[in-house]
Amino acid sequence: MKKYFITGLLVLVPLFITVWVLSSIIGIMDQSLFLLPESWRPKALLGHEIVGIGALLTVMIILFTGVIATNFFGKQLINLWEAMLSRVPFVKSIYASVKQVSDTLFSDSGNAFRHAVLVQFPRQGAWTIAFITGQPGGDIVNHLQGDYVSVYVPTTPNPTGGYFLMMPRTDVVELEMSVDEALKYIISMGVVAPPNKLKTK
């Protein structure tokens, strides 16, 4: 009986968590329906809500924005919009910071979160998985001696929280592990280990 119960948990728990995560994401994306006039919403047209319509609308808005942003007139419009935002003191700093992070994360030429590494944290002898996010910049480089890299150490099981560290490159061990494998390992709290890879001499 215990064997069957555990087997059932192994089958159903990942399924329930997957459904919960997807439903949460779709629920958040469905909020885009509030951008439409109330008379255009599914509830007004059909008499009831349709789950996922807002998510589809969100994807269409993102694609449409991408199409506009890639042509000449769209770029000029974006530059005008950013110039307007740069005149608002508080909004300027928030928008510039968020834009810089998003450009780094989603740019094809960016190196952030492209490599999983092994670092000692929070003390010597304790190892954890981290991701290289770049190199220190600004006045910080004047106070660091040697070659340093910026790393992000995610927490488990929620990797969206974590710690930002600047470490000597010699203290960072690059792993032959994809970002997906590393994230699965972190989220599962070490239960879902990546396959062993033997180094060839």
What average pLDDT does this structure show over 123-133? 92
Domain ranges of the chain: 2-106, 116-187
Whether 115 and 131 have beta carbons less than 8 Å apart is answered as: yes
CB-based contact 87:79 (threshold 8 Å) = no
Tens-place pLDDT, residues 62-81: 888 888 888 888 888 888 88
| Res. 7 pLDDT band, cuts 50 70 90 | confident
Q: How confident is the model at residue 8 (pLDDT cuts 50, 70, 90)?
A: confident
pTM of the model as a whole: 0.57
Q: What DSSP string describes 108-140?
A: TT--TT--EEEEE-SSTT-EEEEEEEE---GGG
pLDDT digits (tens, 9 = 90+) for 20-57: 888 888 888 888 878 778 787 877 777 777 777 888 88
